Structures are given as C-alpha cells and as structure tokens.
Amino acid sequence: MPLAGTSHDEPSLPPDHVSSPLRRRLEDAVEDVFHAALRRGDLASAEDLLGVMENIHTRGRLRFQIERKGTTLMIDRAHNELAARKTRRRPSAG
C-alpha cells in the first residue's frame, strides 16, 4: 500500500538528490579527500585530486560565466601545499 501523497508513477529520486542549503559542493568534498591524501603521504593521489578540483572549477566557470569567490585561492593553496610536500619528500643530495 503506497504512502499518502505518493504514486507508483513517480520515479523516486536517488538519496544524493537532496535540495538542502547545508549540502556541500562537490569541490568541497574533493578538497577534503585531497587533504586526506596529503596527510597519508599519497602524493600521486593528491596530484590527481588537484587536477579534478581544477577541472570542476574550470567547468563551473565556463558553464555559469562566474568566478566562485575563493576557489582560485583554494586551488593556489593546494598547489603550494602539494609542492611543499613533494619538496620535503625528495631525498637530499649528498
């Protein structure tokens, strides 16, 4: 027996399709995983995730013709953080 106000004709939305002002942007989630990869020392994955963040930013900028406030700064910081980790990991010559 269907719930009141529901119909068998209406497709149900997937659980991730939620309209919520608290829902995080995809790039925020990718940034979190990027930082997790850095903490674990997985620099190859961090570099891949940085590329994903750049792609998300570029597509959003092209699609909406706007620059999200703070995104460029976040990507610059991520580049610097990754470069610093790579420099620390390199064995010293000597």
In a domain, 94, yes or no: no
With CA atoms as reference, report the closest residue to 51 among 86, 73, 75, 68. 75
pTM over 0.85: no
pLDDT of 71-80, one tens digit each? 889 999 999 9
In a domain, 3, yes or no: no
What's the CA dihedral at 85, 36, 72, 58 to 10 degrees? 110
With CA atoms as reference, report the closest residue to 56 among 68, 39, 43. 68
Q: How far apart are the first and last CA of the chain?
A: 76
Domain hosting 78: range is 26-87
In a domain, 16, yes or no: no
Q: Which helix (H) or strand (E) holds 28?
A: helix 26-40
In a domain, 44, yes or no: yes
pLDDT of 43-63, one tens digit each? 999 999 999 999 988 887 777
Cβ 14 vs Cβ 26: under 8 Å: no
In a domain, 19, yes or no: no
pLDDT at residue 11 is higher than 70: no
Residue 27's pLDDT is what?
85
